[in-house]
Amino acid sequence: MKAIPNMKQRFVLLFSVLFSTMLSAQSPAVFNVDVAHPGADISPSMWGIFFEDINMGADGGLYSELVKNRSFEFNKPLMGWKEVKKDPASGSILIENRQEKNAANPRFAHVTSHAPKGEYGLVNEGFRGMGLKKDLIYDFSVWTGTTTGNLVLHAELLNAAGEVIGAASLVPVVSNGWNKQTVSLQCRETEPKGSLRIWFAGNGSTDVDMISLFPTDTWKNRPGGLRGDLVQLLADMKPGFMRFPGGCIVEGHDLSVRYQWKKTIGPVEERTAIINRWNYEFAHRPTPDYYQSFGLGFFEYFQMCEDMGAEPLPILNCGMACQFNTSEVVPLDQLDPYVQDALDLIEFANGDATTAGGKLRAQLGHPAPFGMELLGVGNEQWGEQYVERFEVFQKAIKSKYPEIRLVSSAGPGSEGEQFRYLSKAMAGLGADIVDEHYYQKPEWFLQNAGRYDAYDRNGPKIFAGEYAAQSDRVVSMENKNNWRCALAEAAFMTGLERNADLVRLASYAPLMAHVDGWQWKPDMIWMDNLRSFGTPNYYVQKMYSTNRGDRILPVTYKNTPATGQDSLYASAAFDKTTNEAIVKIVNASGKQQPAEIMLAGAGKLNAAAKITLLQSNNLELENSLDQPMRLAPVEQTATVKAGKLSTVLAPYSFAVFRIKLK
Ligand code: AHR
């Protein structure tokens, strides 16, 4: 016997009949994809990542060293360290400087102990604490120099309450020279805000330097390596390229603290630590303990690119310091060392073993070339000083390495006088690729999806090198990584893909931020000492980079490209490896919209299509450390019949459809 529906059930039934009648009455948005006439190729490195040591991105982030100020090189040499002693007479510390002997790493600590029971020690607070994991082995190391007496050094992992959760000891070698000593410790508890304590027991003295603690679960288990969870998030994106090391950090506040790649390779104890420009850049976000150890240097960078299959895109200083700061420039007749740095980097990355650079790379453990093809000259430079300097680099590099494609600056903005001047000048110089930056409101991204549709095809190619929708305004502390911003970026990116003949590279910026140590918001990935998560912006980037395709497919909506008519945006690509048409559609309105994707000239199609969907009705939605997947893509399927995929575009949604050709 059939059950008679109650009032509530009848209401639901009536409502759903009415609703589906309304929907079917609404005429579908029709997207015509011309599979028979693929357009230009899409660069294999189209969707990449931009890395800069900002927001504790490297030290305190990707570089998994847990000890802050390990070599006492901060302006305040004991910043990050605290002496612990039960009795004033139990020991002392003296910072010494051997500048004349070791200019790269001048300072070390001379520790004297009169504490037979181990009552003189030092505690390192880490980068906003140390993330320690239960059962994990940690590698402790220290360089000890001149040592007298009978000292024992105890290393202890502490939890936030100061209790010992791991310990090991070593006896410093009695010597007159420097030796690296290591010991491993196992941690008994998981602690996000731990610290390291070292005790000196016995009577005597020793010189100590490079006091270091690393987890062993680094990326690919490399000793002294990178934080595995963070590299994994990047590798999951299958990035086409990795821009490094920035950003303004390339330029430096002044030239003395510019990024110099040669000082970032070789043994870590020989890499000169310097102050990070983001230490003091923003009065509203001072970070006095932010320095660059360069433990994540150029060799590690190239290695990471190789691990992820990403093309390296280094950016070098062009003889100009940050123009928002000092605007220092190197006189044109003294630019040679800067140009030489660029030539040497190419040789280091690509040279064979007969070249000095190739030999050095082999000595560092990588005999095979890294295959670098792209190089950026200057970051956000502008004005004629830049044009003059870029020209010098261009001549020198192109005459020796014509195959290297150079990325040049379009300045910090994407419109206005400076931008127009530089765009014209770069076109005049026959520049290969120009780097455009847009930190704009979400509305700008929605309104500019057609930005490149009518761009000059005879000028330089475009690198959308830094972009992020700002929910408030640039450098505001209120900016959010919310769905509103991510959706606007997704819409804008349809325009990048549609114009992939011109736009060859694109990357969101900045990449990473530590929840307790950031200077700049929004950022694609957030972390604390143990956890990390991708923002909605991360998932948008990932949906593009893992659904790239090789050729542009023309898509029209009402006979023109979909650049926001009816709040709809679309682009498409063909993936020759999988033989699939990949269609990306953004519905930026709060209304559900029936839609049809018509695939012309595709021949027979598989009936089952895959959909990856990122959607929320709540534009303010953000992910967090506690809810890392609040907004994340979901996989769905759709049916294709007679060359047509019928679907319903959810409100505020970004969908990627993969439709297989038979
Ligand atoms: O991404 C943060 C900063 O924004 C970069 O360092 C700089 O290039 C831009 O101004």
**Top mutation candidate among 259, 292, 380 for ligand 1, by most atoms within 8 Å of CB:** 380
Tell me which DSSP letter residue 529 carries: S
Domains, the chain, with CATH or none: 25-41+552-660 (2.60.40.1180), 49-64+219-548 (3.20.20.80), 81-215 (2.60.120.260)
Atom 7 in ligand 1: which residue has the minimum CA distance? 247
CA distance linking residue 39 with residue 552, whole number of Å: 5
Ligand 1 centre and the CA of 379: distance in Å? 9
User: Which of 52, 277, 473, 508 has most ligand 1 atoms within 8 Å of its beta carbon, as the pocket-test mutant?
Assistant: 52
Q: Which residues does the annotation mark as catalytic?
A: 380
Cα angle for residues 304, 61, 141 (degrees, 5° grid): 85
How far apart are the C-alpha atoms of 84 and 394, rounded to whole Å? 56
* Burial class, 19, CB count within 10 angstroms (exposed 0-12 / middle 13-18 / buried 19+): exposed
* 396, containing H or E segment: helix 383-400
Q: Give, using CA atoms, the residue closest to atom 8 of ligand 1.
A: 247
Q: Are 561 and 551 in contact (CB under 8 A)?
A: no
Pick the atom of ligand 1 nearest to 379's CA. 8
Please give the span between the terminal C-alpha atoms of the chain, in angstroms, as a whole number: 47
Q: Whose CA is nearest to atom 3 of ligand 1?
A: 247
pLDDT in tens, 270-302: 999 999 999 999 998 989 999 999 999 999 999
Please report where in the chains the tokens 């934080």 appear, as a residue.
227
Closest residue (by CA) to atom 1 of ligand 1? 510
Smallest CA separation from ligand 1 atom 2, residue: 510
User: Going by CA atoms, what residue is nearest to atom 6 of ligand 1?
Assistant: 247
> From ligand 1's centre to the CA of 491, what distance in Å?
22
- How many angstroms does the Cα of residue 425 sit away from the middle of ligand 1? 22
460 and 427 Cβ atoms separated by less than 8 Å? yes
Which of 49, 54, 55 most suits a substitution to test ligand 1, by most atoms within 8 Å of the C-beta? 54
- In this prediction, residue 638 carries a pLDDT of 97
Q: Which helix (H) or strand (E) covers residue 571, if one does?
A: strand 568-575
Note the pLDDT of residue 20. Answer: 47
Positions of the chain with pLDDT lower than 70, given as ranges: 1-25
Cα–ligand 1 centroid distance for 437 (angstroms): 9
**How far is the centre of ligand 1, averaged over its atoms, from the C-alpha of 54 (Å)?**
9
Question: Whose Cα sits closest to atom 5 in ligand 1?
Answer: 247
Distance 247 CA to ligand 1 centre (A): 5
Cα dist from 153 to 85, 118, 128, 135, 264, whole Å: 14, 8, 25, 22, 30
pTM over 0.85? The answer is yes
478 DSSP 8-state letter: T
Residue with tokens 């997947």: 629
Q: Which atom of ligand 1 is nearest to the CA of 380?
A: 8
Taking the centre of ligand 1 as the mean of its atom positions, its distance from the CA of residue 211, in whole angstroms, is 32
Sequence-distant (6+) residues with CB within 8 A of 53 are 59, 245, 246, 249, 276, 278, 292, 296
Tell me which residues have their CB closer than 6 angstroms to ligand 1.
52, 54, 246-248, 379-380, 412, 466, 509-510, 520
- pLDDT of the residue at 440: 98
